[in-house]
Amino acid sequence: MDTQRGCQTPSPEPTSQAIIDLVEMHFGFTPTTDNILNAFNTLSPTPAQGDPLMILNRRSFLATTGAAALAGGMGHPAFAQNVTANMILNWRYQGPQGWFFLAQDRGYFDDAGINLTMDQGSGSGAAVVQVAGGSYDLGFGDINAAVAVAAERPDEAPVGFFMMYNRPPFTIAVLKDSDIHTPQDLEGRLLGGAANDGALRLFPAFAKMTGIDTSGIEITNMQANLREQMLRTRQVEGVFGFVNTIRFSAILSGMNPDEEIRWINFADYGMDLYSNCLIASRKLVEEQPDVLRGISAAVNQGLKDTLADPEAAIEAVARRESLIEKDVELARLMATLEDEMSHPEGATYGIGAVDPDRFKRSIDIVVEANDLPNTPAADTIFTEAFLPPLEDRVTTLAKA
């Protein structure tokens, strides 16, 4: 028996409204007083005075309160209940996925009642294709690839629900000692990229916007892990990819990207696009919206934890892939936060949301440049319905 505790004056029991406020803050739905009482009675008929919350962990409280809410007829709680889902990542395990793994290791997906499996990917565009094809429920992929699918096969197109990269990272990397300085200098050259690379998929749009004659350009597909090596050994004259993916993979291959690589960045030539986003199958959006609320809340907290302790995020990656070079992956993570997630709009909308007008313009760019058959409505490609409230989202990454 805790005798010291027995001598203390019991704290006042929290009011029903205080508990309701707590549930709203942490779980995103409003229970009734009866829901809460039923939850407490289910978990502990005789809670210690002054400590009714101490007998609950977050998941059991959510489950029982949610069940009581359903029984009471208030509708669905905000999160799922014991759902299994799978997710395809954009690439092999790397630092900028650390917020996902940190969220998983700290139990945030479990708290939301979601058993989530995350697999390594083979490209941001490939993630969209795999979700559209039904192989995965969720993905971390290029929203521009989703625009292309929606324009041609709207019933299959996945839906974005948490925008991560609000600055476009797409680039063509060339050697600094080459004579390639502008997009027009790419004419007649041998370029390479992974088949499902986001920048490669957007190259027709980039070529149209910059007036490149592509008739003499040869593009060879390569394994992603050979990209920087093939550039370094001059087997190709330029490679497609994300700036920070190439930069830090080049370091791992023995190159000094600051001294050896020149970048032809799509954003410098008018392609003001969004990029990687959490996406979900239409089936999941329509049938299990609570899963997406739970995923969004978990990832949002994982991102906050990553900002507070980036090294912990890298350790979470290392628990999946022990062979990573932690220093390089930490630098890759920090550069991604600094570059791909720092658009000024983040101060207004927070990471997760988009500027509606800018997003519509980005759709128009992709549709026009690729001669797509129709222009999908923005709300069929991306929704903010499952995001945490703005005051809970990250706004500190924005740069003027």
Q: Is residue 36 classed as helix, strand or coil in its secondary structure?
A: helix
> Which of these ranges, 21-30, 55-64, 193-202, has the smallest mean pLDDT?
55-64
**Which pLDDT does position 9 carry in this prediction?**
38
Please determine, for residue 330, whether its predicted confidence score (pLDDT) is greater than 70: yes
pLDDT confidence tier of residue 196, bands split at 50, 70 and 90: confident
Please determine, for residue 10, whether its predicted confidence score (pLDDT) is greater than 80: no
Q: Which residues neighbour 388 within 8 Å (Cβ) at sequence distance 6 or greater?
A: 28, 296, 297, 300, 352
Q: What six digits make up the tokens of 101?
A: 């793994």
Q: H/E element holding 220?
A: strand 218-221
139-156: per-residue pLDDT in tens? 999 999 999 999 999 999
* Residues forming beta bridges with residue 265, ordered by sequence position: 171
Strands 261-265 and 170-175: antiparallel
Q: Is residue 87 classed as helix, strand or coil in its secondary structure?
A: strand
pLDDT confidence tier of residue 37, bands split at 50, 70 and 90: very low
Q: Which residues neighbour 74 within 8 Å (Cβ) at sequence distance 6 or greater?
A: 30, 31, 32, 35
Q: What is the pTM of this model?
A: 0.78
pLDDT confidence tier of residue 63, bands split at 50, 70 and 90: very low
Q: H/E element holding 239?
A: strand 238-242
Domains of the chain with CATH codes? 13-71 (no CATH), 83-167+274-392 (3.40.190.10), 170-269 (3.40.190.10)
Q: Which residues neighbour 62 within 8 Å (Cβ) at sequence distance 6 or greater?
A: 27, 77, 79, 111, 112, 113
> Which of these ranges, 25-39, 107-121, 248-262, has the smallest mean pLDDT?
25-39
Reference 130, options 320, 293, 281, 350; nearest CA is 281
334-389: per-residue pLDDT in tens? 999 999 999 999 999 999 999 999 999 999 999 988 889 999 999 999 999 999 99
Q: What's the residue count for the chain? A: 400
DSSP string, 4-47: HHHTSPPPPPPPHHHHHHHHHHHHSS---HHHHHHHHHHH-SSP
The DSSP symbol for 330 reads H
Q: What six digits make up the tokens of 211?
A: 């007036």
Q: Which residues neighbour 397 within 8 Å (Cβ) at sequence distance 6 or greater?
A: 307, 337, 338, 341, 342, 346, 351
